[in-house]
Structure 1
């Protein structure tokens, strides 16, 4: 590794340029990952916070929960027979505060369950984000389709649906607002395999997320950008080391003539790759974690340590693959030919 280190010191500018590019790409990837995760939570925290289980909706609803209506007898059977099962409905709407200012919310109601807030008739429990708009516990809010007033009972943390704050209301109030008696969904926690039920279609938590408008498109776009950046970093390593290897053909020829094994030459290249990537990733991880502390309030940015470690490992693997692919030409080096062709 002494040769590898001497080369890094001799060609500081080259390795500094590569390290800078890897730093920028990895930093941008971590930032976009944090934004993707934050938007995912902002779009579907209500669903993502539920335990693993199965969602059931009407099979004629075309995988659109808004069109789903669960037969009351089927609902009663499922809720009574399955432990901790709950029937629920979700509908976008709004509430008006005392100043008659509208606030978009996602109304949620359910049968008695520990998975959802229990709300009495005439009460409402809101996501904490709406508290920033000046609404407090004990305030009265209204809805144009509701004859009375909702009294704010409390707030819950990080409960969003389709980028709107969740508003838990009683089932009777929900039925009055939307004029329906049937619930849209039944959720059964803890089911690994879906139970076949006539007239109903089952979805795992992950599958149900795909039925949320804009969720799949939003996440797919951001994930494509992330993986595109990862692939770019691998190509950068491959191109950089390929050009370096072309310039060092003569050196490799002499080393091969002196009996240096090909595996040692690869080891030298891997050492350089790891050294550059480790420094670049350390800086990008530190800055991205620092960004979580200074990110603007209200910006959906969540970069967990788990995601950071996973992406760092992926970058190291991609760098290793890129460097290795570029090094295959080393195995074909003929010492005498390389010495005649190259200059030291």
Structure 2
């Protein structure tokens, strides 16, 4: 530890350059991860916030919830057999406010349950993002396919689907707007994949999220960027310590000649890696959490402490592997040969 710290103080510029690079890479990784989580919430908070369970759609829908139609006899049987089961439907649409301004929403309706909002006929409950756009409780909203009017009864937080705020409406009002007689999906919280029903396809929450248009593409693209940044950080550690080790072959030879073990040299290198990584990650984690607090309200950014800690641990592991990989050359150093090479 003492030797490692002395070398850091002696070669401050070199280690500061490495620390700065790790700081920037980790900060960028945290921010992109926050954007990925934010987009996930903006795209599917309605589903993300549900407890784990199983979704069911018709097999001939081929994984597209828009094409799924649950037969009413099957729906009745499942709801009667499964106490917490719920049938629901959702479609993209729009509402028109008192100022005749049109706003895109995802209309949502379900059978009575404790999971989703229960709405009376002629009422509507909206995601709170619409409150920021000037809509208030008691406002009257319309739709071109609806003969009546909707009265805004309440707002709920984190209820979005396909990047649109969710509008909870009564089943009869939903059927009038879309002319749909059957519900699209069944959901059983806490169920496992062993529960199957004739003619229905079983989907976990993760698999169902991937049926949402754009969700899988968004998450895969951002996850690949995060993965590449983590790999790049590992390569940076390997290259940096490799160059440092090449320059210190003579020194390592002398240390080995006076009886210093190879394991001790590895520990010195690991200590340096941990010190640099810890400082860089601490700074980037603090800044990313500050950004999480001050990010504009409309920006889909959500970075949890758990995600920050997990990514930090990944960086430490990758840094350890990168430094260790570069350090294998230390094991091969022969004292006399290294000393002679250092003299040249």
- 1:67-102 deviation line (CA, Å, top 9, x unaligned): 000000000001111021000001000000001101
Q: TM-score, normalization: structure 2?
A: 0.99
SS for the counterpart of 1:325 is: helix
Q: Which residue of 2 aligns with 1:102?
A: 102
CA distance in 2, matches of 1:332, 1:181: 75
TM-fit CA distance, 1:297: 1.5
CA distance in 1, matches of 2:289, 2:46: 25
TM-fit CA distance, 1:192: 2.1
CA distance in 2, matches of 1:229, 1:267: 26
Equivalent pairs counted in the alignment come to 344
Q: Which residue of 1 aligns with 2:121?
A: 121
CA distance in 2, matches of 1:257, 1:215: 60
Q: Which residue of 2 aligns with 1:199?
A: 199
CA distance in 1, matches of 2:194, 2:101: 43
CA distance in 2, matches of 1:279, 1:5: 14
CA distance in 2, matches of 1:166, 1:49: 13
CA distance in 1, matches of 2:3, 2:280: 21
Indicate if the aligned counterparts of 2:59 and 2:200 stay in contact, CA closer than 8 A. Answer: yes
SS for the counterpart of 1:230 is: helix
1:216 has 2:213 as partner: no
Q: Which residue of 1 aligns with 2:111?
A: 111
TM-fit CA distance, 1:112: 0.4
Indicate if the aligned counterparts of 1:251 and 1:343 stay in contact, CA closer than 8 A. Answer: no
SS for the counterpart of 1:342 is: helix
CA distance in 2, matches of 1:42, 1:91: 16
- 1:282-337 deviation line (CA, Å, top 9, x unaligned): 10011001111211121111110100000000000000000000000000001000
Indicate if the aligned counterparts of 2:193 and 2:202 stay in contact, CA closer than 8 A. Answer: no
The equivalences for 1:310-329 within 5 A come to 310-329=310-329
The equivalences for 1:1-344 within 5 A come to 1-343=1-343
CA distance in 1, matches of 2:118, 2:233: 50
Indicate if the aligned counterparts of 2:3 and 2:268 stay in contact, CA closer than 8 A. Answer: yes
Runs of 4+, deviation exceeding 3 Å: none
Return 5+ residue gaps in structure 2 as ranges.
Answer: none
TM-fit CA distance, 1:194: 3.6
Q: TM-score, normalization: structure 1?
A: 0.99
CA distance in 1, matches of 2:124, 2:4: 66
CA distance in 1, matches of 2:156, 2:171: 18
SS for the counterpart of 1:327 is: helix
SS for the counterpart of 2:69 is: coil
Return 5+ residue gaps in structure 1 as ranges.
Answer: none
